[in-house]
Amino acid sequence: MQTTPILYTQALMLLGGAVVAAPLFKRLGLGTILGYLAAGIVIGPVAQSITEGEEILHVSELGVVFLLFIIGLELKPSRLWQMRRDIFGLGTAQVVVTGLVLSFLIEFFSLLEWRGSVIAGFGLALSSTAFAMQILDENNDTNTRYGQRAFSILLLQDLAIVPLLALIPLMATRAPEATTTPFEDFAIAIAAIAALYAAGRYLLNPLFQVIARTGARDVMIAAALLVVMGAATMMQLAGLSMAMGAFLAGVLLAESSYRHELEADIEPFRGILQALFFMAVGLSLQLGVVAENYLLILFAVPLLMAVKSLVLYGLCRATGSHHNDAVRISLLLPQGGEFGFVLFTAAAVAGVFSQGVASLLVAVVTLSMALTPVAAVLSRRLLREQDDMEDEIEEDFEGAGADVLMIGFSRFAQIAAQILLAGGRDVTIIDHSAARVRQAATFGFRIYFGDGTRLDVLRAAGIEKAKIVAVCTQKKEITDKIISLVQAEYPNARIFARSYDRLHTLELRAKGVEYELRETFESGLLFGRKTIEALGVGGEEAIAIMDDIRRRDEARLVLQEAEGITAGRHMLHSQPVRPEPLVKPKRDVNHTAETEERLLPQLPAGDDEKAGERLAGAD
């Protein structure tokens, strides 16, 4: 009972520090992670209010476990397979090359002996998943090509912490005596992974179905915690890391219908424990060692960021990235990562190097995180005006295929999509504008990046499954190109199209498009109806007038298809009005002639009489 007030006081200090520091640092553009670190440093080493930083660190490592579980939930096995080249190719190359280079530099400058150099070098090769993903999310760049490649590198780095943690006992100077053979250790690990896979495949979904039928929300939360902690403990008992167990459990549940509910249940615990982890790192920091070696830290931070950036740029260029994407990735991931804190702390506990060295490495990682926004600003200055300047997004059509394939997501298409979605219809939407795709994603729309004029894109988007192809692009020539392509490859496809004007409507009808609509026709009718209602015309009469105009317009189109654009003039409601100007102009101007010259610049000579007729027939 005597320790209870102390625990309450410490908990209040940690919560208060998190509440104050995290929003402040986020407002400064430094991110919440540095805020938690700063709060821990102030509470621990500076104020000496909490001195049990290492004990808190052991508990708070569960935040990392929950983080990996949520990362696993976001990764469907099919998606992992699609990203395998970037994850296991580019990601592995980044960790190995950067780790070897940094390890060599640390030993070359005689900062650590070779065991410590390897752990420190590969620990510094890892980047901050939380920090980089936060920057991508804030800039809406998660789905861009460079964002996907950066995420692949981060994912492999998160996976690399598992073998790196397993490497520490081998590097430790006081490694415990082995009670089993390496073959037995390997067999136990494989058996544990197989058992976890079987449980995830055959037990977890039925378990959650039973719990969901009870309607007990608190039991569902408890079950989610049980799954994460159980998987993590199983892997730990098998000689692997808790983080790996949680990650595998997340991947196994990625296809589950309960995935989103599990993520929502775990997220609050993950957020609190992860914040506690970063604060505990700050609590355990040895400021005296940092102060004595500040010159070394000031030299090491820019060297670390430069080495990581150069390696990342070279590897990205070698694996097919354009200059701009390579620059963005290299200056997004030059910092050290939160898993480096885990690795350095574990290495210090095992005796690979001292706690003072761990504090120096934590200080280097922290400063590199603080300088990441500066690197992001620098990246914008290094971009080139080139063919990849239009920010493209990786073409990913996973889950595509619906009754309606909508090509183009302009304002016109957005309104049409609302009708379809409200009617309970699935719509596959593709658009070639990366900015429009990102903007639509912020409003919850599921659209795919792709060029609708390419046959392979249309096939990947599921055109063979579509009952209707809705072409809603803005430019007339693009619309015509898409329609010609679809009609050539899929002659039985039902095409609904947005037309540019009346002439374009007649051209589309001549091509055999099933339905077309001028982009401004219906909105112009509604605007005119509302205007005459405001002038005193009754609602029913205004609607009747609007319907009459719509019928007349369709009748004119039928005549114009058969007889040409000048047909049906008698169906137009026209009452020319030429009011006298308030001020007499200095010269006479033939407005009709100027207008005809602007709209009909290539009118054949000797066709003056038809000019007025064509102008009257235009929209």
Q: What are 262-295's pLDDT values in tens digits?
A: 777 777 777 777 777 777 777 777 777 778 888 8
Residues 401, 385: Cα–Cα separation, whole Å? 36
Q: What is the C-alpha to C-alpha distance for residues 506 and 13, in angstroms, rounded to an integer?
A: 73
Structure tokens at 105: 């530099």
- Beta strands, E only, 394-493: 404-407, 427-431, 447-449, 468-471
Q: For residue 321, what pLDDT is reported?
A: 84
Tell me the domains of the chain and their CATH numbers.
64-173+186-382 (1.20.1530.20), 404-570 (3.40.50.720)
Which residue ranges in the chain fall short of pLDDT 50? 1, 174-175, 386-397, 399, 576-619
What is the model's pLDDT at position 143? 60
Quick check: 90 and 152 in contact, CB under 8 A? yes
Pairing outcome for strands 515-518 and 447-449: unpaired
Indicate the SS3 state at residue 70: helix
CA angle (603 as vertex; 597, 609 as ends), nearest 5: 90
- DSSP-derived 3-state class of residue 517: strand
C-beta of residue 448 within 8 angstroms of C-beta of residue 399: no
Residues 36 and 279: beta-carbon distance below 8 Å:
yes
pLDDT of residue 567: 74
Length of the chain: 619
171: CB partners within 8 A, 6+ apart? 115, 116, 118, 119, 347, 350, 352
Residue pair 462/401 in contact (Cβ under 8 Å)? The answer is yes
Cα separation, 232 vs 306, whole angstroms: 36
Scan for tokens 């019928």, then name that residue: 551
Task: Please report which helix (H) or strand (E) contains residue 515, including its range.
Answer: strand 515-518
Which pLDDT belongs to residue 303? 92
pLDDT in tens, 191-222: 877 887 787 777 877 777 777 777 677 777 78
Using CA atoms, how far apart are residues 546 and 524, in angstroms rounded to an integer? 10
CA distances (Å), origin 551, targets 377, 466, 571 = 58, 31, 10
Contacts of 545 (CB under 8 A, 6+ apart): 529, 532, 537
Secondary structure of 367-396 as H, E, C letters: HHHHCHHHHHHHHHHCCCCCCCCCCCECCC
- Strand arrangement of the beta sheet that strand 494-499 belongs to: 447-449, 427-431, 404-407, 468-471, 494-499, 515-518
pLDDT score for 616 = 41
- The whole-model pTM stands at 0.55
How far is 346 from 481, CA to CA, in rounded Å?
61
353-359 contact pairs (CB < 8 A, 24+): 353/112, 353/116, 353/119, 353/120, 355/284, 355/286, 356/286, 356/289, 357/112, 357/116, 357/120, 359/284, 359/285, 359/286, 359/287, 359/289, 359/290
